[in-house]
Amino acid sequence: MFVPGMPVVVNQNTHQGLKLVNGASYTALNVILDKAHPGHRVNADTIIHFSPPAGILLTSDTTKDLHFVSMPPGTILLTPVSTKIEC
């Protein structure tokens, strides 16, 4: 479930130099949906997606000085990471 402003805690070191690391807290601003997996509209306010998003736009005190091209100032993009776990 995604709600703008919801807290997000990263659970894997993703971009250490940008402090996007395990245990870091962020606020989710927006979700970028994966166009390969369209959603199913339930009503005027709700669409259900059964796949992971293409990314989540995050902000925090540690990102306030960041500015990436084509992204709002003070934000960072977290994209899904796949990890194979052997039995």
- What pLDDT was estimated at residue 72? 92
Query: Which tokens hold the place of 31?
Result: 């979700």
Question: pLDDT, tens digit, for every residue of 35-66?
Answer: 888 888 999 988 888 888 899 999 999 888 88
Mean pLDDT of the chain: 88
- What pLDDT was estimated at residue 87? 83
22-26 long-range contacts (CB < 8 A, ≥24 apart) are 24/60, 24/62, 25/60, 26/58, 26/59, 26/60, 26/63, 26/76, 26/78
pLDDT exceeds 80 at position 82: no
Report which of 64, 59, 50 is spatially closest to residue 77, judged by C-alpha positions. 59
H-assigned helices in the chain: none
- What pLDDT was estimated at residue 26? 93
